[in-house]
Amino acid sequence: MNKFQDLDILRKTDLTVEEVKRHPAFAKLPDNQIEDIIITIKKITEIAFNCNVKSKKSFGKIPKNP
């Protein structure tokens, strides 16, 4: 059984507190801490996405200061 089979990697909605609380590691956390976790995940995802975009734009270009 694939533990990722129900994973929607192309989702268009934000992660919810209820979804996070379904995971045993986060089930007992208060909602405000889970909201902070969600914000952190979004920021890390945005940083990774922007880094990937910048990397693709500069792919194959010679660095200005080698």
List the alpha helices (DSSP H) in the chain.
Answer: 17-21, 31-58
pLDDT of 42 over the 80 cut? yes
Q: Which pair of structure tokens corresponds to residue 37?
A: 């976790």
Stretch 40-61: mean pLDDT, rounded? 83
Stretch 53-61: mean pLDDT, rounded? 73
pTM, rounded to two decimals: 0.67
CB distance 19 to 35 below 8 Å = no
Stretch 44-48: mean pLDDT, rounded? 91
